[in-house]
Amino acid sequence: MKIIRYSRFNFFPLGNSYNRGSTSNKKTSEITLLDKIKLLTETSTSVKVYRLTNPKLSDRCFLIESSSARQILTDHFLVGLPLITKCAAAVKNCLSAYFTLQKRSIQYHQMAEVVPLSGSLTYNLLKSFYDLYNHSLARNFIGIRRFLKPDGKWDTEVSYTNFEALNEDLKVIFIGDTIATGVTITKVIQIIQAQLQVPLTFVIISIAGSLIGAQRIVQLEEKLQKNFPETEIWCLFTEAYFGLEANGTDMPILHPDTISTPQLQQLAHEQLGEYLGRNLCSVLDWGKRTNAPFQHYRELIHTLKALKEKKIESPFISEMISRCQNLVYSP
């Protein structure tokens, strides 16, 4: 892994520089999905990075190709430790992309991770960062949950913070999280910014992030820059910027608003079929997939049976129900 050359404390980015006009014609023509994404660059470890052409997103919103994330998003039977292992690989793809794109020289003590509890523990940036760069990120924690108010709008509630590793020397904050409406992640960013009162770069890594959530993040960046012009928020989403269902939770791969790599679209058709690809959330309940696999399977059975009752012809539904039942009820 030679994305960066580092001395004891300093990063000196190598590889492809972040230049919007530098992609060759060969690379640009290599992949285009409805003219919504363009190949921007490729890291020294062959991770492809794409730029989205959506005008509502900033030039710091990137789509990161990741075969591990692709499997997470299409294989709902990937749970527990195997899921965590795949997640770590996807996070490494994103870290590789970030240190290829960013231009500044950053010292180790100027970087930290903030972990929104508890779903973000699965991202485990601490281990992925250490595996790549042989250095441990400082870690901070915030207990925060999203809830639906009586008026139908989403809000957040903070129950716990441990920011002992936050200090005014920090320049880069890494956060890994699943992003639907974007309400939770923007609240976390606002709390951190209020705590430090210095210009910061937030690097948001998401294996499942929505287009609406990314737009909310971009709007927050513009708001924060009024007081801290140098503030940046990077969105590094793997494989897709998902269309979000009206319930504010589900992110199907084949949602008409989803912007993804063609590889993910193809795999969704192959493993889920048109109907499930359009109606089944790509991640379901992230926390249960990691921490309570059998509960995840039971909820998946319930979801699949509800879809089957609509009498849609899909062999994938019966096959997945049978597989879930074998996993849950076999001795």
Mean predicted lDDT score pLDDT of the chain: 83
229 and 154 within one domain: yes
Q: How many CB atoms lie within 10 A of CB 101?
A: 21
Residues 229, 301 within the same domain: no
Residues of the domain holding 26: 4-242
Query: What would the two tokens of residue 7 be?
Result: 């001395």
Q: Is residue 262 part of a domain?
A: no
State both tokens at 185: 């992640």
Q: Is 102 inside any structural domain? A: yes
Question: DSSP for 249-289?
Answer: S--BTT-TT-EE-HHHHHHHHHHTHHHHHHHSBSSSSHHHH
Question: What is the Cα 13 distance to its own chain's centre?
Answer: 23
Please indicate, yes or no, whether residues 167 and 312 belong to a single structural domain of this protein. no
Q: How many CB atoms lie within 10 A of CB 278?
A: 16
Six-digit token string for 39 = 């190949």
The last residue of a domain, from among 221, 242, 263: 242
Would 214 be classed as within a structural domain? yes
Same domain, 189 and 326: no
* 98-134: pLDDT as tens digits: 998 888 788 888 999 999 887 778 888 999 999 999 9
Of the candidates 101, 109, 113, 180, the residue with the CA atom closest to the CA atom of residue 148: 180
CA atoms within 13 A on the CB side of 83: 26
Dihedrals φ, ψ of 281, to 5°? -60, 140
- The token pair at 193 is 């910014």
Residue at a domain's end among 184, 211, 242: 242
Q: What's the half-sphere exposure (Cβ side, CA atoms, 13 Å) at 308?
A: 14
Same domain, 302 and 229: no
Other Cβ atoms within 10 Å of 155 Cβ, number:
13
Q: What is the pLDDT of residues 188-226, one digit of tens each?
A: 999 999 999 889 999 999 999 999 999 999 999 999 999
Task: Return the percentage of the chain with pLDDT > 90, whole number.
Answer: 47
* 168 and 35 in a common domain: yes
Same domain, yes or no, for 35 and 166? yes
From the CB of residue 86, how many other CB atoms can be counted at a distance below 10 Å?
20
Query: Considering only CA atoms, which of 273, 274, 209 is closest in space to residue 69?
Result: 209
Contacts of 290 (CB under 8 A, 6+ apart): 79, 80, 83, 84, 119, 121, 122
Q: Are 234 and 302 found together in one domain? A: no
Among 228, 110, 233, 231, which residue's Cα sits nearest to residue 168? 110
Residue 271, domain member (yes or no): no
| 135 plus 70 within the same structural domain | yes
What separation in angstroms does the CA of 240 have from each of 25, 132, 165, 287, 329? 23, 24, 32, 20, 34
Give domain status of residue 222, yes or no. yes
With 50 as the cut, is the pLDDT of residue 9 above it? no
Q: Which residues have CB under 8 Å from 170's CB, separation 6+? A: 110, 111, 112, 196, 198, 200
pTM: 0.84
172: in domain: yes
| Cross-strand bridge partners of residue 204 | 175, 235
* Strands 111-117 and 240-242, sheet pairing: unpaired
Same domain assignment for residues 40 and 145? yes
| Mean pLDDT lowest among 15-29, 120-134, 208-222, 299-313 | 15-29
CATH number, position 217: 3.40.50
Return the percentage of the chain with pLDDT > 70, whole number.
85
121 with 200, same domain: the answer is: yes
Is residue 286 in some structural domain?
no
Overall number of domains in the chain:
2
Q: Which two tokens stand for residue 77?
A: 């039977």
Could you tell me if 53 and 156 lie in one domain?
Answer: yes
